[in-house]
Structure 1
Amino acid sequence: MTTQKVKIGLLQLNPKIGQLPQNIAKATNILSGAFPSLILPPSNSDQEFKPINANGLQEQPDIIILPELALTGYNFSSPQQLEPYLEPTSSGPSTQWAKDVSLKLGCHTVIGYPEKCVKTQKHYNSAVMVDPRGNVLFNYRKTHLYYSDETSGFLENPDRDFSKSAYGPWKSLCNGNIKLNVGICMDLNPYKFEAPFEKYEFANSCKANGANLILCPMAWTSSKSPSLIKTEGKEFEALDDQRKKDIIDHKQSLLLEARSMYDKSGDPIATNVDLLRKPEFSTLNYWLQRMSPYVNEPNQPRSNISRVGFVAGNRIGYEQGDVLYAGSSSVFVFNGKPISAETNPSESVEYYGSLGKAEEGFMMVQIEVDKI
């Protein structure tokens, strides 16, 4: 089968709740560091930012992917806190920013945003894709909700089986040789963490849909996020005193570690630059584990599409006092190489690189996937 080259751009951000203009300005300036010719309409922010991660890229990407709720922040404490930042379907500040970028760079842009459906008044955690002419190609609504999505008042996508999460092809994207599948963060996990772990709802749906490029905007927490350690509720209260103390002490140690990475304003601490530019490999390994149907194990049905791209576009930051994000935005290709009990499953996965676990910046890589 012949292949198609695709240039993928990843923009990793640290969006802060309540700072929409500043978040927009920072996203623009990071891209301007990579593409000096990029001049977008000014935001309402009066704050200036210096370009970050300026690497003088000469080629334009085919696709740029941003995180989940990329410009608003993610971990809202209530529907009331989220309300001022809700955006009409495919037409708010996030979509407009994506249109401006796509028109200027001649690329496709995927961005996560908090959607308010004007017709139904329902709220969704969504992602929109814009083509090089500024046209909206699709609006995807998150299917598997994390508990914080429910706290914010988001509803799940009514199409629970991911059958409508495949999009394309379009002539504007790699001459019509790409079929996308889109998922948002928790979509990779079992439904409500209640479905069987090995069901792999999202990955199996991508495979059934015949997608050759999988894009996942994320706000994925670090495996060391203090928020993952619960110190209240029935399960915690049922523990003996020593076990409670151990859990509280463990959470406290994670809080101290997170606070050593970020200052009180939520910005990475500069003294840890080398450490923060390294990805969190435990998170990368987990993402790949959740895409296990693409590892050609013995007796597993083969897909007609062998080379499939997988892009995880995450965010960084330390939010609401105990939520630590993993960053580590990454690009992989599942190459379809058969494996056996004697070979290493990693031979069927090609790794194209990551941004750091606490690094705001932009990277671009070129991959090859099978044409559809």
Structure 2
Amino acid sequence: MKVACLQFAPELGKVDENIKRANAILSQTALPTELDWLVLPELAFTGYNFQSLEEIKPYLEPTTSGISTRWAISMAKTYKCHVTVGYPEVTPTPNPTQYNSTVTVSPTGAILTNYRKAFLYYTDETWSSEGPSRFFSGPLGSLGQVTLGICMDINPYRFLAPWDAYEFANTALSTSSNLICVSMAWLCTLTPDELVQNPQQADFATVAYWVERFQPIVAASQKEAGAGEGKPVYVVLANRCGTEKGVCYAGSSTVLKIEKGGVSLFETAGKSEERCLVVDLKERPKFQVRSAGN
């Protein structure tokens, strides 16, 4: 299976320009002819750091029928792959509700699922409602059993739940998902000046944090290995980069492999790098992040 994460730096509210930016990156990327999945960040074309419902209202898109969905359908047909993209959703009147969502379409352009973010970050809470279900876990086209999340979903609920509740990871574990995907607008603690230093280098502190949030899956894979069982679990983390209103994003999109109690990393994008990261899950990962037993 071949997956791609399109990491770029959208500008807040500049939807048309952001789409052109994404298209330009794709056109400069040697995408494989047998690409299975193209994944974009959270709120990919609108930008993320809206501070109120009034501010984001002009950019809300009707459920699975706005500009982001139309783009996903077009790209799915062009590249003959599944496409997942984040967008700000509004449900139909008379009682419209706003959600921070992702839509996933099939290679033929059919809508497969519309997932609404369950665990909201404080920025989301200024305009979005919580998704009615905790995460998506189920069959997703020819990709198989998949668990989907959006950014804050991998954290403890509202940072009030116990750190070791691991709600998202345990959902993936309980549903036997061997493929996990999280679209992100993940922040970092770096300053704008630090972001532009060695832009092609990942923010490995952020990557290490992401790895920790999948600890139940790591532990389960070690037990399965001891019993002579288990299959690898692949985690696709598609983040954005850049800055908005002084807020810095971590970039560092990556794909992880969890197997036999170890965590390895196929490759990462840099913390400030705009690129389409392409990974073949059949290949050997480049880096060992965590060895079995450590």
TM-score over 0.5 for the alignment? yes
Matched pairs, number:
280
Confirm or deny: 8 A CA contact 1:113 1:127 kept in the other structure: yes
Q: Which is worse superposed, 360-369 or 91-100? A: 360-369
Higher strand residue share: 2
Confirm or deny: 8 A CA contact 1:223 1:283 kept in the other structure: no
| Residue 196 (structure 1) aligned with residue 170 (structure 2) | no
Which of the pair has more CA radius of gyration? Answer: 1
User: C-alpha displacement at 1:168, in angstroms?
Assistant: 1.1
SS of aligned partner of 2:28: helix
Relative distance call for 1:20 and 1:169 in structure 2 (3 A) is closer
Task: Give 2:63's aligned residue.
Answer: 89
User: C-alpha displacement at 1:306, in angstroms?
Assistant: 2.5
Confirm or deny: 8 A CA contact 2:119 2:130 kept in the other structure: yes
Task: Give 2:7's aligned residue.
Answer: 12
Match of 2:107 among 128, 132, 136: 132
SS of aligned partner of 1:205: helix
| Residue 25 (structure 1) aligned with residue 20 (structure 2) | yes
Task: Give 2:216's aligned residue.
Answer: 293
Confirm or deny: 8 A CA contact 2:33 2:79 kept in the other structure: no
User: C-alpha displacement at 1:299, in angstroms?
Assistant: 9.2
SS of aligned partner of 2:26: helix
SS of aligned partner of 1:183: strand
User: C-alpha displacement at 1:259, in angstroms?
Assistant: 4.3
SS of aligned partner of 2:265: strand
Task: Give 2:287's aligned residue.
Answer: none
Task: Give 2:242's aligned residue.
Answer: 317
| Residue 150 (structure 1) aligned with residue 125 (structure 2) | yes
Task: Give 2:187's aligned residue.
Answer: 221
| Residue 327 (structure 1) aligned with residue 259 (structure 2) | no
User: C-alpha displacement at 1:305, in angstroms?
Assistant: 4.6
Task: Give 2:85's aligned residue.
Answer: 111
Structure 1 unmatched ranges of 5 or more? 1-5, 35-55, 225-256, 262-268, 339-347
Q: What are the equivalent positions in structure 2 for 1:346-357 lying under 5 Å apart?
A: 348-357=262-271
Match of 1:258 among 192, 205, 215: 192
User: C-alpha displacement at 1:78, in angstroms?
Assistant: 1.1
SS of aligned partner of 1:276: coil
CA displacement, residues 154-198 of structure 1 (integer Å, 9 cap, x when unaligned):
0101224x4xx113153xx25xxx211000000000000000000
Task: Give 1:159's aligned residue.
Answer: 133
Relative distance call for 1:82 and 1:207 in structure 2 (3 A) is same
Query: Stretches of 4+ moved more than 4 A in 1?
Result: 297-305
Query: Using the alignment, how far apart are the partners of 1:333 and 1:118 within structure 2?
Result: 40
Query: Using the alignment, how far apart are the partners of 1:296 and 1:148 within structure 2?
Result: 32
Confirm or deny: 8 A CA contact 1:138 1:167 kept in the other structure: no
User: C-alpha displacement at 1:210, in angstroms?
Assistant: 1.0
Confirm or deny: 8 A CA contact 1:223 1:282 kept in the other structure: no
Query: Using the alignment, how far apart are the partners of 2:21 and 2:47 within structure 1?
Result: 13
Query: Using the alignment, how far apart are the partners of 1:16 and 1:140 within structure 2?
Result: 23
User: C-alpha displacement at 1:85, in angstroms?
Assistant: 0.3
| Residue 210 (structure 1) aligned with residue 176 (structure 2) | yes
Task: Give 1:277's aligned residue.
Answer: 200
User: C-alpha displacement at 1:68, in angstroms?
Assistant: 0.2
Structure 1 vs Structure 2: percent identity of aligned residues? 41
Task: Give 2:286's aligned residue.
Answer: none
User: C-alpha displacement at 1:223, in angstroms?
Assistant: 2.8
- What amino acid does structure 2 have at the position aligned with 1:65? V
CA RMSD of aligned residues (A): 2.0
Relative distance call for 1:187 and 1:329 in structure 2 (3 A) is same
User: C-alpha displacement at 1:317, in angstroms?
Assistant: 1.1
CA displacement, residues 229-256 of structure 1 (integer Å, 9 cap, x when unaligned):
xxxxxxxxxxxxxxxxxxxxxxxxxxxx
User: C-alpha displacement at 1:310, in angstroms?
Assistant: 0.1
Query: Using the alignment, how far apart are the partners of 2:199 and 2:182 within structure 1?
Result: 22
TM-score by length of 1: 0.72
User: C-alpha displacement at 1:59, in angstroms?
Assistant: 3.0
TM-score by length of 2: 0.90
Confirm or deny: 8 A CA contact 2:221 2:258 kept in the other structure: no
Query: Using the alignment, how far apart are the partners of 1:125 and 1:208 within structure 2?
Result: 25
Query: Using the alignment, how far apart are the partners of 1:66 and 1:222 within structure 2?
Result: 19
Query: Using the alignment, how far apart are the partners of 1:106 and 1:326 within structure 2?
Result: 30
CA displacement, residues 44-66 of structure 1 (integer Å, 9 cap, x when unaligned):
xxxxxxxxxxxx34433100000
Query: Using the alignment, how far apart are the partners of 1:195 and 1:124 within structure 2?
Result: 22
Query: Using the alignment, how far apart are the partners of 1:183 and 1:211 within structure 2?
Result: 13
